[in-house]
Each structure stands twice: as C-alpha cells, then as structure tokens.
Structure 1
Amino acid sequence: MCYNRGTEAAETAGAGLPQKGEKPRKGSGEMHNELTRKDLQMMREELDYRRITLRPQLLEAVKEARGFGDLSENFEYKAAKQEKNRNESRIRFLENMIRTAVVISDQAAPDTVGLYDKVTVYLEEDDETETYQVVTTMRQDALHGRISKESPVGSALLGKRVGDRIYIQVNDNYGYYVVIKAIEKGEDDGSVPLNRF
C-alpha cells in the first residue's frame, strides 16, 4: 500500500495526515484509518448531505413534533429526536474518520491481489471455494463477500498471486489454509457503498 498526501482529497481531509511515505504517528492516542481517495470523496458527499440537507429537515421535524402536546407521551417527538440524534452521531463518525484518514493507493501489481479485487480461494479443510472482494474498512460487508483489508483473510490475501497457498491466522488457537484460484482485478469506482450503522 502506498501512503499518499499530495492530492486534493488528502489536503481537504483535514490537518495531520501523514506525508507521502510516512506511517501514522504511534502514541498519538488516535487510530488512523487507511482509506482511498474515493472513500474520502464518498464520505464528504454524505457528510455534506447530512449537514446541509438532512440536519435542517430533522430539526424542523423535532420542532413540529414538539407542538403535538405533552412531551412525555409524544411518540412523534421521541422518534424525531432519535432520528436527529442518529444523524448527528453519523456526522461525528464521518468527521472523525476523515480527520484521522491516511490516504492509501488502491493500485496493485497486475498479477497480485489488491484493493477492490475479487479473489476466488479454495478452502482446503472445507473442500470448497469462496470468492471475496478485498475492500477498506469503510466498505466491508461480510454478507456480500466484501472483506476488510485489515481482517485476517484480507490482510493475508493482499499482495499474493494465483496459486499461492496461504495460512489464515484467525486467532491464537485457529487458522486454516487457502489456495488462490483466481484474481479478478477491480477498481475503486464507487460502486461499493459505505458502511451504515
């Protein structure tokens, strides 16, 4: 992975991003999130929507619901307040992710596993194949086969080639072998959505 700061995306992501070739500072008390330029772009777009469009709508809904009477028994008020708070929580989450971002490249050698590539692996102990797409933590979704590059499987696959036999260390007591059968090169075109909570 390449650490990069010379782009417009990185410069607007906030102060404190590591310089090109520099690892995140240890001991700063903050976790640094390795994200692509597209991750940052999509996060900024969502953040703008939530601040500019959604926040005023939700504030108006709270005001309107407040007018329905006794707040202790006012379901509309409680629901509007919860939705407003959910939006504010997501705003804070996105701001923090952007502020602590380290911009990484989504490019890899043509014959190795990189970000957004789909990888078909043979699981030896189960005698079956599975296909995963390796993504950043902001786009992981195990139900749809999208695994984080920081997961045991994702980190083990990155940089490997077709035919490589890899040991996946799940925890101190368990691991298993996989063999890479195919790599379908992908790109960060924005088609993989951001995680929601």
Structure 2
Amino acid sequence: MKQIPMTLLGAESLREELEFLKSVRRPKIISDIAEARAHGDLKENAEYHAAREQQGFCEGRIQDIEAKLSNAQIIDVTKMPNTGRVIFGATVKVMNLETEEEVTYRIVGDDEADFKQNLISINSPMARGLIGKEADDVVVIKAPGGDIEFEILKVEYL
C-alpha cells in the first residue's frame, strides 16, 4: 500500500479518535448488545439489530484509522528549513487577483481536509496549483466557474 502524507496534527487527531472508539465507543456498543440480547427473541429485536449495525460501523472505522496510521507518512513542516516554496503542510496566504480577497490555506492530507477551516487537500486543484511555487508567484487555478488567478503573498511552515 502506498504511503499517505499526513501532518503531525492530522495523525494526532486520528490517534485520538481511535483511542475514543476503542476505549469508549466499542465497550458501550458491546454493553448495548448484551442488554438488547437480554430482551429475548433476536429476530424482532430492533435494539439488538441497531447495536450490531453500530458495532459494524465502529469496527470498520477502527480498521480504517489503523490502516491510515500504519501507512501514514507524517510530515512535520515545522522541522523543515523554510525554502519559501509551497510544500505539503505549508500555510499559504494568497490573494484572488480579480476580487483582491485574501485567504490563508494550509495544505494537508485528504483525511484532514476541511474547507471551512481553510485546510485544503494536497489533491485539490488549489493545492496542486500552489505546490512548488513561492511568494510573489501568480498561479492560475482551474475552478468550476473558470480560471482564477491568485498571487502568493506569504508561505509559512507553521
């Protein structure tokens, strides 16, 4: 399996979720199944079937997280010399040349991406357009509504 780039923060967040699923969620589901089983006939026992379904989701997510962490290539940009180039994990301030709107994005792995928090996936058109560029470069990003020009104002390794 290929390595999945992940920031230190992203890996920590997955580890916390895994710990929660194993130490809190899984025991709760097991107890729910035992309780539902005590109600008798399993064929028509909605609580039992719901708990078993939850167990399936929980175990699936645990396996998913464990696989991601085992294949994670954790990249800590704070430990890298800042060459001024946009790389995975970098925080980039850009200005839309048409609207003059300034936005700061952080380039992260697919699992960490959250557009509302300006965390963009390394595989997004925006990130692909920024990678390898540096401050004062102008990049053209292909967007659904057409091409958008951005000027890179600042590149930080935070």
Paired residue for 1:120, among 74, 81, 94? 94
Give 2:124's aligned amino acid: S
Stretches of structure 2 lacking an aligned partner (at least 5 in a row): none
CA contact (8 A) 1:37 1:104 kept: yes
Aligned: 1:82 with 2:56:
no
Counterparts of 1:61-76 in structure 2, within 5 Å, are 61-76=32-47
Aligned: 1:145 with 2:118:
yes
Q: Aligned in 2, Cα 1:62/1:149: closer, same or farther, shift over 3 Å?
A: same
CA contact (8 A) 2:97 2:151 kept: no
SS of equivalent to 2:111? helix
Which structure: greater strand fraction?
2
Q: Aligned in 2, Cα 1:134/1:121: closer, same or farther, shift over 3 Å?
A: farther
Deviations 1:89-117 (A, max 9, x none): 11000111012122323246274445251
Counterparts of 1:23-172 in structure 2, within 5 Å, are 30-107=1-78, 109=82, 111-114=84-87, 115=89, 117-122=91-96, 124=98, 127=99, 129=101, 131=103, 132-169=105-142
Q: Aligned in 2, Cα 1:138/1:128: closer, same or farther, shift over 3 Å?
A: same
State the match for 1:11 in structure 2.
none
Q: CA deviation at 1:147?
A: 1.0
Which structure: greater helix fraction?
2
CA contact (8 A) 1:163 1:179 kept: no
Stretches of structure 1 lacking an aligned partner (at least 5 in a row): 1-29, 188-197
Deviations 1:136-182 (A, max 9, x none): 222102244321122221122134233311133569xx962422253
Give 1:147's aligned amino acid: I
Counterparts of 1:170-189 in structure 2, within 5 Å, are 176-180=147-151, 182-183=153-154, 185=156, 187=158
Distance in 2 separating the partners of 1:128 and 1:72: 62
The alignment yields a C-alpha RMSD, in angstroms, of 2.9
Distance in 2 separating the partners of 1:73 and 1:121: 59
Distance in 2 separating the partners of 1:133 and 1:104: 13
Q: Quick one: percent identity of the two aligned structures?
A: 28
